[in-house]
Amino acid sequence: MNTLWHGRFEAAPSDELLAFTVSLPFDRRLASDDIAGSRAHVSGLVRAHILTPHEADAIGTALDQIEDELQAATFSFLASDEDIHTAIERRTTELAGPAGAKLHTGRSRNDQVATDLRLYTRRSLTSVALRLHELRGALAELATDAGDAYLPGYTHLQQAQPVLLAHHLLAHGWALGRDVDRLLATRQRADVCPLGAGALAGSSLPLDPEFTAEVLGFDAAFENSLDAVSDRDFVAESLFDLALVGVHLSRIGEEVVLWSTEEFGFLHLHDAYSTGSSMLPQKKNPDIAELARGKTGRLIGNLTGLLVTLKGLPLAYNRDLQEDKEPLFDSVDQVLLAIAALRGLLTSSDFDLQRMQRAADVPHGAATDLAEHLVSGGMPFRDAHVVVGGLVRDAIERRVPLADLVQAHPDLGEDAAALLEPGVTVTRRTTRGGAGPDAVAAQLARYKEDLVKDQQRI
Ligand code: ARG
């Protein structure tokens, strides 16, 4: 078996070494990035007069064929192919002969793998940002459809003040907007090309990292070869961004779980986006929402795992860095699946607006409005708080309608009692960013402007 280093070694690698160190099973997904990186490197070698155009053509044709073979799944991997880079270089040499053997000139797998992974990251962050952007659009549509419907707003999961359903939906939408922003910022920092850093120190050959960076469409070339091959900040940042997306999806999931219970009944799941029970015939379960919540543990684990891998590493490349790929691939895959499933769940769900409004139409929900009514008559807020708190306690203890007590109170009366009518208090949340119809309409307009801006940025 010929390894990439067989010149220096007498013995072939042991089976145990191969079994433990192989990365091909997971880094195969970098194949197209690896080929793109090799094509750029070949252009750089031609420019440096290390390869003739004829040799470059032979390599290019070999890479075309390798692409086809991988596509058609006819590429035969060998036991000695420890990673995708080895496999592609080996096959290039088989196909292109002596020209193929020149492909790796001035290049190390260290700068190669870092380049491949940055290409993958750039592309994947774009897809996640795009899918999140679409989910944000779906939330805007749901908010529009919800009109002026309202539901109880909660603090401590205790009913607090009514809010428009649109307001609640957009609250999640803004959080996802910050995620889009973060993903794009991370993509920007990932957009630096390590190719040309070599194993760690650059090259004696007249290679131009800025040229290959440009060929690959990177924003910039590396500044420091040691940093270029050691830096996995872009992976850690991506994992953080994806974990936080997960946290946001998890919080939506938790609310779907609550809202779809018999007790809340705010939302009825579509059959296609819920599951049944193998034993209990009556059940309809919110598994998507639960897994949006559950898988977030794993996303956080992926981030934590990578940070621990990185923390003790000396410069420059260490094989530990091979552990960067599986968590990244996994987090990207899981987040994309979760976004798609949750989007389907939300857009197909039936929001029970009447049930929400009935739940919100409890007189105690107007307590703050009553206190503010007293404040507008000149009473200090702290005193008003005590007065209204006393009325609420009275109403509960004596089992009399709060409205009657309000009506009879010398500082409150008819106007104040009118605040307790269903649907009134929510219309009074008029301040910017507030939960009432006018404020939410203005918010929705700004949210849609934000979507237009993001569309261009992604
Ligand atoms: N499979 C390796 C990785 O993913 C490629 C780089 C190997 N470099 C080396 N010096 N052994 O990190």
What are the pLDDT digits (tens) for 37-63? Answer: 999 999 999 999 999 999 999 999 999
Q: Is there an atom of ligand 1 within 6 Å of 110 CB?
A: yes
Question: What are 233-259's pLDDT values in tens digits?
Answer: 999 999 999 999 999 999 999 999 999
The verdict on whether omega for the bond into residue 316 sits within 30 degrees of 0, i.e. cis, is: yes
Pick 277 or 418 by higher pLDDT: 418
Question: Is residue 9 very low, low, confident or very high in pLDDT (cuts 50, 70, 90)?
Answer: confident
Find the 323 Cα to ligand 1 centroid distance in Å. 10
Q: Is there an atom of ligand 1 within 6 Å of 317 CB?
A: yes
- The catalytic residue among 76, 156, 204, 278 is 156
Q: Which atom of ligand 1 is nearest to the CA of 84?
A: 1
Question: Is residue 278 very low, low, confident or very high in pLDDT (cuts 50, 70, 90)?
Answer: confident
- Averaged pLDDT, 179-196: 98
Pairing of strands 350-351, 267-268: antiparallel
CA distances for 231 relative to 18, 61, 304, 324, 328, angstroms: 26, 33, 17, 11, 15
Residues carrying CATH 1.10.40.30, the chain: 362-421
- Angle at the Cα of 209 from the Cα atoms of 207 and 214, rounded to 5 degrees: 125
Architecture of domain 13-105: Orthogonal Bundle (1.10)
pLDDT of residue 8: 82
What span, in angstroms and rounded, lies between the C-alpha atoms of 446 and 433?
10
Residues carrying CATH 1.20.200.10, the chain: 110-359
What span, in angstroms and rounded, lies between the C-alpha atoms of 455 and 458?
6
Question: Is residue 344 very low, low, confident or very high in pLDDT (cuts 50, 70, 90)?
Answer: very high
Whose Cα sits closest to atom 4 in ligand 1? 322
Residues carrying CATH 1.10.275.10, the chain: 13-105
Whose Cα sits closest to atom 11 in ligand 1? 319
Mutating to test ligand 1, I would choose from 9, 108, 113, 318 the residue with most ligand atoms within 8 A of its C-beta, which is 113
Q: Is there an atom of ligand 1 within 6 Å of 319 CB?
A: yes
Find the 80 Cα to ligand 1 centroid distance in Å. 14
AA identity, residue 327 = P
Least confident among 46-50, 70-74, 163-167, 373-377: 373-377
Find the 262 Cα to ligand 1 centroid distance in Å. 54
Which of 440, 449, 447 minimizes the C-alpha distance to 168? 440
Judge contact between 401 and 364, C-beta under 8 A.
Answer: no
Q: Is there an atom of ligand 1 within 6 Å of 109 CB?
A: yes
Question: Is residue 279 very low, low, confident or very high in pLDDT (cuts 50, 70, 90)?
Answer: confident
pLDDT of residue 252: 98
Q: Which atom of ligand 1 is nearest to the CA of 321?
A: 12
Question: Is residue 385 very low, low, confident or very high in pLDDT (cuts 50, 70, 90)?
Answer: very high
Looking at domain 362-421, does it have CATH number 3.10.690.10? no
Q: Is there an atom of ligand 1 within 6 Å of 113 CB?
A: yes
Looking at domain 110-359, does it have CATH number 1.20.200.10? yes
pLDDT averaged over every residue in the chain: 96
The verdict on whether omega for the bond into residue 403 sits within 30 degrees of 0, i.e. cis, is: no
Q: Over 90: is that where the pLDDT of 353 sits?
A: yes
Judge contact between 44 and 208, C-beta under 8 A.
Answer: yes
Q: Is there an atom of ligand 1 within 6 Å of 324 CB?
A: no
Q: Is there an atom of ligand 1 within 6 Å of 83 CB?
A: yes
Q: Which atom of ligand 1 is nearest to the CA of 83?
A: 1
Find the 74 Cα to ligand 1 centroid distance in Å. 25
Whose Cα sits closest to atom 2 in ligand 1? 322
pLDDT of residue 1: 62
Question: Is residue 7 very low, low, confident or very high in pLDDT (cuts 50, 70, 90)?
Answer: confident
Pairing of strands 150-155, 158-164: antiparallel
pLDDT of residue 320: 98
* Token code pair at residue 289: 């929402």
Q: Which atom of ligand 1 is nearest to the CA of 317?
A: 10
What span, in angstroms and rounded, lies between the C-alpha atoms of 371 and 416?
10
Mutating to test ligand 1, I would choose from 195, 322, 328 the residue with most ligand atoms within 8 A of its C-beta, which is 322
Residue 23 a catalytic site member: no
Residue 156 a catalytic site member: yes
How many of the other CB atoms lie within 10 Å of CB of 360?
Answer: 22
